[in-house]
Homo-oligomer: A and B are copies of this chain.
Amino acid sequence: MLNIRNTQFEKDGAMEEAEWLNTYEPRDYPPVGVTVDLVILTIRDKELHVLLVERGEPPFKGEWALPGGFVQPDEDLHEAAARELKEETGLRQTDLDRVYLEQLKTFGKPGRDPRPLRVFTVAYLAFAPQVPEPVAGTDAENAAWMSLAATRNMKLAFDHAAILAEGVERARNKLEYSSLATSFVGPEFTISELRNVYEVVWGEQLHPGNFHRKVMSVDGYVEETGRTTERGGERGGPRARLYRWGGATQLHPALLRPSETT
């Protein structure tokens, strides 16, 4: 049944465990590699953007891909993802602390990486707050925030288009029952800014009055700072009150997408 296990790990079932370890011969195995790839989302100019890097090395040299890299021997998966996040975004530690990072899904279809090495990738999803400057890439690689619309006309390296789609889908769902929309805005934000996150990620307009009431009614979602914006909106309107995240991670009840309710 299980070729590898039967023929190699379990050559001799009666062998003692310590003794068995000595007979292990790594070179007998087909080579396998594990990487982490990151879907790092942010909102810029009222559009959802993802961080992409232009590959400086083969395979897919010159093509755009999700940032990522091999998991190091002494690293746990989440550590590896956090390290890549830090390296690739160039965010300062204080911003980095506010980034949400979760494991998304693992991809391992044979042939998804053209190298003569079976590469599995553990995809992670990250929500980054608005970053003022375009990101500085590491080394020779070029990195850029791309709008999701732009990525639809691009061919991404590997199976990264599928990974990206999976990440966006997860993000849309997460907004409903978690307070993760606050990860897309600064430490202090207005209710309108928060609403804008939902509108951009979901791609639909929300009723400002209802959204306001809803956010205020969910216990622990936001708390008042007592301050307001310095000025009204760009095209008018009063100054908005500033809020910070209230500590709740789950939303009860959830903030449902209008288009899915019907």
Chain A residues engaging chain B, CB cutoff 8 angstroms = 1-5, 9-10, 13, 15-17, 20-21, 24, 26-27, 29-34, 56-59, 61, 69-77, 87, 103, 105-110, 114-118, 120, 122, 138-140, 252-254, 256, 260-261
Assess the A58–B20 pair: CB atoms within 8 A.
yes
Alpha-carbon distance A61/B16, docked complex (angstroms): 9
In the complex, the count of this chain's copies comes to 2
| A5 contact from B15, B69, B122, Cβ within 8 A | B69
Residues on B with C-beta less than 8 A from A75 are 110
Q: With A1-B138, A26-B31 as given contacts, are A115 and B69 in contact (CB-CB < 8 Å)?
A: no
Assess the B103–A105 pair: CB atoms within 8 A.
yes
Majority DSSP secondary structure for residues of A touching B: loop
Report the minimum CB–CB distance from A201 to chain B (whole Å). 18
Assess the A116–B74 pair: CB atoms within 8 A.
no
- Measured CB to CB, the nearest residue on chain B to A17 is B58
Assess the B21–A56 pair: CB atoms within 8 A.
no
Alpha-carbon distance A4/B21, docked complex (angstroms): 25
Q: With A57-B13, A72-B4 as given contacts, are A34 and B105 in contact (CB-CB < 8 Å)?
A: no
- Measured CB to CB, the nearest residue on chain B to A105 is B103
Assess the A13–B56 pair: CB atoms within 8 A.
yes
Alpha-carbon distance A151/B111, docked complex (angstroms): 38
